[in-house]
């Protein structure tokens, strides 16, 4: 190969490298709430604790700060691993990373949830979405928009009660996924994960958590307290939902981002 050929070949390689698409090109939407004293947890949980550590200039002349925090696995924007409600299913660290990254779809049921805060997302809601947009693509991460994100961090409006303790659980009122719809989406479609903008994939009045059980039997994790779903289109975006990798964990805080194409 002569010098001219080498130069042409090098220029072609450089051109191909420049034309390689950026997987993160587009608008990035943060779908997570920050953790602080207002973060919403289940009524039986203590909540998020932030302990301030040293902060300031050191004798050596550089700035240094380090804090501590404590949190239950389930609270704030977090992931439920399948082990949470089904024996011998994936713990947080066992969920394949590629199951937490995928094309996203938003199914908007906010109008129905506005009329009924105990609404449970039905099979017909999935079918209505598909009638307009086509079949939910295999490998999708499905996000259910109930509209309850607008109430965060007002516990009473978001959860139905501001009370704490076991007695408060019976007073929870917020939308979730109907068990029949959970069964449909796990058997009729091939999704990677599912999430919503409420504290639980089961509605507030659930006592058997059947949607959790159905999803987790199929090793499909759930994302709860997802933020800013109103900023997403019905489809045409990528979801990245990577939790703290807690070995043996049943769940944990997750930073979720959507890249809108």
The CA-to-CA distance between both ends of the chain, in Å, stands at 42
Residues 150-180 pLDDT 10s = 999 999 999 999 999 999 999 999 999 999 9
Q: Is a pLDDT exceeding 50 seen at residue 190?
A: yes
Give the model's confidence band at 8: pLDDT under 50 very low, under 70 low, under 90 confident, else very high: very low
**Average pLDDT, rounded, for the chain:** 94
Domain boundaries along the sequence of the chain: 26-54+65-260
Euclidean distance between CA atoms 128 and 98, whole angstroms:
28
Euclidean distance between CA atoms 31 and 232, whole angstroms:
10
Residue 245 CA, chain-centre distance (Å), reads 15
Give the model's confidence band at 26: pLDDT under 50 very low, under 70 low, under 90 confident, else very high: confident
DSSP-assigned letter for residue 47: -
Q: Is a pLDDT exceeding 80 seen at residue 220?
A: yes
List the catalytic residue out of 78, 84, 178, 212: 84
Euclidean distance between CA atoms 162 and 168, whole angstroms:
8
Task: Flag whether the pTM goes above 0.85.
Answer: yes
Tokens of 53: 């550590």
Q: Which of 4-18, 45-59, 234-248 has the lowest mean pLDDT?
A: 4-18
Give the model's confidence band at 25: pLDDT under 50 very low, under 70 low, under 90 confident, else very high: confident
- The answer to whether 133 is a known catalytic residue is no
Assigned CATH for 26-54+65-260: 3.50.30.50
Residue 261: its pLDDT value, please? 87
Residues 110-129 pLDDT 10s = 999 999 999 999 999 999 99
């Amino acid at each position: 190969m002569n010098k001219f050929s080498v130069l042409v070949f090098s220029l072609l390689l450089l051109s191909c490298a420049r034309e390689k698409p950026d997987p993160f090109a587009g608008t990035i939407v943060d779908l997570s709430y920050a953790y602080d004293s207002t973060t919403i947890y289940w009524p039986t949980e203590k909540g998020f604790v932030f302990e301030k550590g040293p902060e300031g200039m050191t004798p050596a002349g550089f700035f240094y700060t380090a804090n501590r925090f404590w949190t239950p696995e389930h609270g704030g924007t977090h992931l439920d691993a399948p082990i949470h409600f089904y024996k011998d299913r994936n713990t947080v660290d066992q969920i394949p990373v590629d199951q937490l990254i995928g094309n996203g779809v938003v199914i908007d049921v906010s109008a129905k949830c506005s009329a009924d805060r105990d609404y449970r997302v039905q099979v017909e809601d999935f079918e209505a979405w598909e009638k307009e947009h086509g079949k939910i693509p295999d490998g999708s991460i499905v996000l259910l928009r109930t509209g309850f994100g607008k109430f965060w961090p007002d516990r009473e409006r978001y959860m139905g009660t501001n009370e704490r303790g076991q007695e408060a659980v019976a007073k929870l009122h917020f939308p979730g996924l109907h068990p029949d719809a959970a069964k449909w989406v796990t058997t009729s479609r091939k999704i990677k994960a599912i999430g919503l903008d409420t504290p639980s994939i089961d509605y507030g009045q659930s006592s058997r958590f059947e949607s959790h059980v159905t999803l987790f039997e199929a090793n499909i994790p759930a994302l709860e307290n997802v933020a800013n779903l109103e900023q997403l289109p019905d489809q045409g975006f990528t979801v990245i939902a990577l939790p703290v990798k807690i070995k043996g964990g049943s769940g944990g805080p997750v930073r979720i981002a959507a890249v809108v194409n």
